[in-house]
Structure 1
């Protein structure tokens, strides 16, 4: 039996919002992760696109407090563990740059607990959540539908990668696609080796991969080998930064943990060390914001 999970910040999602896909109540001030808020938050829900059975996905939509007119936006897709502090950590920097965010909660919609045993079988199963988010944001009166990007961590990083391919963008609303993709540690060894993880024939939107040289899912050069293997036209769309000494999940700024995952160690499976690196976290966050600024044509 699937375990029903409700994330802490999802407690405020109203039944009316689940049914309608509209904005629900404002988040209580004491739950805001920064002492001086740079964004205003609301809970939203929207239908995933293309799932076998109807699925309503929830998330936290945040706008910069100084936003005027239509602003660009970034969808934030969590990792296998589910919603955690990484989403807010990166969202705060995007808000300061004048960019709205939509942090997804994909596991609660499916009654999953997260982790290697509590996630869907394949990342492609959650791409409908990304397409639903893109459709929702494109129709929002305060969002510029031509400037919507996606970023994610691990599982969400794979979503960010696959959504850049013409094969998978076919699942989006006709004429819609993400304008930029920023995957964090997206398990590079798996692409074009594991079925349903095909990466190629890209849409042409820029893709910025950030990876750690000490990530135990990959070899130190896995991401570079992936980039080098792409067709020349696709390679022009992809950039890569690898951080020496950084493990998987370097921007998870809680105490170090060890997990087990059958996809680790280039598919051999085993234990994975996840150690926080505040310096790398801040560097990668700045790089991510700069990438979206350039992609959206925003002033530095």
Structure 2
């Protein structure tokens, strides 16, 4: 094996393919803690006041004998009937919140002109979000999707299940990567993939959860927006758009053919007018996606394959906007 082939293989292993070791190493960048809900919701069941918390807020702790002043609504009638003495349920404040990692591995994600593929960066950030949640004692769930496959992993705070989540994410990514770049299988685009994933998420998520969505949002349609609005009513959502500098600007002159998997267009990079239209189209798409998350009172961040994984904060209260248009091309 020549020196050139060894170098090429190493570059592929570090920028395109994923390993479990890479996803485990992401815990060293996961310095944030998972925040409490940052939006206020009206708690109709306990009055008209505004509560900063979503979900149940309290969880069952124990049963003890009734004492004067206890709320009669918390009496445990089963224990009372069995013992012949009145017992009441004791609740404690819920300290954890379920965290859902939603990773879009549609074929449009398997592209990158700098450092790594969009799909690879999405998986690394997904792993980082996992460790940030897991290290603070939260239960973490996973929902990973390709053009024709969905993987669902239930919320858990056990390390064994967490490593299984990362393993499944890595396997799905590498299997799809091999298929995309295999001559035996064509580029596969499912226009409803993101919509189906969000619809499934609505059935899985309980109120009070924190949801991270890593995607290029190429297939964000009106149905997706409705699902996001519904989810945001009872949960906190943080949308992370993964993009590549070439989607915003083509630095070298020449004739280029661009495709979304279904349509093809020809661009002359030496034509200043074409380049301005190309850049404006990208900026408009980002602005529209950002607006969709803003209208649903959700956080949004834009990150690029040209950026380091350490450049993105996972705190939904901090909205990031990393520049792709002005990325320096080496």
TM-score of Structure 1 vs Structure 2, range by shorter chain: 0.3 to 0.5
TM-score scaled by length of structure 2: 0.31
TM-score (norm 1): 0.33
Higher relative contact order (CA 8 A, sep 6+): 2
User: Which of the pair is proportionally richer in helix?
Assistant: 2
